[in-house]
Amino acid sequence: MEEKLFKVALAWEKAEKPVVFTGAGMSAESGVPTFRGQEGLWRKFDVEKAAYLDSFLDDPEPFWEMTRELLLKKQVKPNAGHFALAKLEREGFLQGIITQNIDGLHQKAGSRRVFELHGSMEKLDCLDCKKVYDWEGVLKGVEKGEVKCICGSKKVKPRLVFFGESLPQKVLEKASELVEDCDLMIVIGSSLQVYPAASLPQIAFHKGAEMVLINSEKTPFDYYFNWIFREAAGKVLPELEEKILGGNQK
Ligand code: APR
Ligand code: ZN
């Protein structure tokens, strides 16, 4: 692992436009469950009931049940991997983070240029009276299992992307620009199975970027990567950050 760390740190230091792409595995060490794999959420919850727009409009409760498991079961906070990426961005070694995650942990760790392909829980809209809520405003209802608008509607929908919805256009455009330009793409904690998100690292590969994967299990695209770490993101990222910034603290 040592030699690989050294080589990847060197490639990252030399890269003009490094870009990071993260999935649920990035937040696993923060206590946020992943979706696939042994303990994945989709083994516990029916994804059709919990994450599809039409099912949410029918009955939002399975979605909120899954959300409690995803975000509320533990006091989720950024892990060492999130902080390492925020530091690399501050020191000028990161163009931006494209994330599939909705937990807001990159921003909580201090990252600024974060592109949330699947939105987040930050803001919610009542689909009936259009009232806008923020996450704190509905948290009690989520915990109690009765998310309801003051107008009585249960259709209080977070601004995140359900299956069956398209991605936020502006975010997708910005993320695509980053990916088109990048010369180093670091993919962290994603099974690369959900589109269009999973197409972004592939574009980087086809544009000739050097490719790094930090993912505990195989992905269908392992062959795209110059370097693969099977160790946890929360372990690898601080070691990389140390090697990159150790000699480069500005
Ligand atoms: N460090 C590195 N990799 C990890 C770690 C860790 N600590 N823990 C888990 N992993 C890996 C797993 O091996 C798995 O391959 O992270 C990956 C997580 O994959 P998924 O659970 O499929 O999550 P993700 O790729 O983000 O899913 C994409 O699917 O359900 C939708 O909208 C949801 O954004 C999500 C999308
Ligand atoms: Zn309302």
Which CATH number do you get for residue 18? 3.40.50.1220
Last residue of a domain, one of 160, 187, 218: 160
Q: Of 85, 160, 190, 192, which is best to mutate to test ligand 1, by the most ligand atoms within 8 angstroms of its C-beta?
A: 190
Q: What is the rounded CA–CA span in Å between residue 104 and residue 112?
A: 11
Task: Give 20's strand partners.
Answer: 97, 186
Can you give the CATH number for the domain in which 154 is found?
Answer: 3.30.1600.10
Ligand 1 centroid to residue 21 C-alpha, Å: 11
Q: What is the rounded CA–CA span in Å between residue 21 and residue 89?
A: 14
32-74 pLDDT tens trace: 999 997 889 999 999 999 999 999 999 999 999 999 998 887 7
How many structural domains are present in the chain?
Answer: 2
Ligand 1 centroid to residue 67 C-alpha, Å: 16
Using 50, 70 and 90 to split pLDDT, how confident is the model at 249? low
Annotated catalytic residues are 118
Looking at the structure, do residues 123 and 226 belong to the same domain, yes or no? no
Confidence check: pLDDT of 248 > 80? no
Torsion of CA 204, 206, 210, 212, to 10 degrees: 60
Evaluate: CB of 118 within 6 angstroms of ligand 1. Answer: yes
Last residue of a domain, one of 131, 160, 189: 160
More confident of the two residues 117 and 1: 117
Tokens 């989709």, located at residue: 42
Looking at the structure, do residues 103 and 137 belong to the same domain, yes or no? no
Looking at the structure, do residues 56 and 124 belong to the same domain, yes or no? yes
Evaluate: CB of 190 within 6 angstroms of ligand 1. Answer: yes
pTM of the model: 0.96
Last residue of a domain, one of 160, 190, 214: 160
Ligand 1 centroid to residue 152 C-alpha, Å: 36
Mean local confidence (pLDDT), 132-149: 93
232 is in which domain, residue-wise?
1-30+78-118+166-250
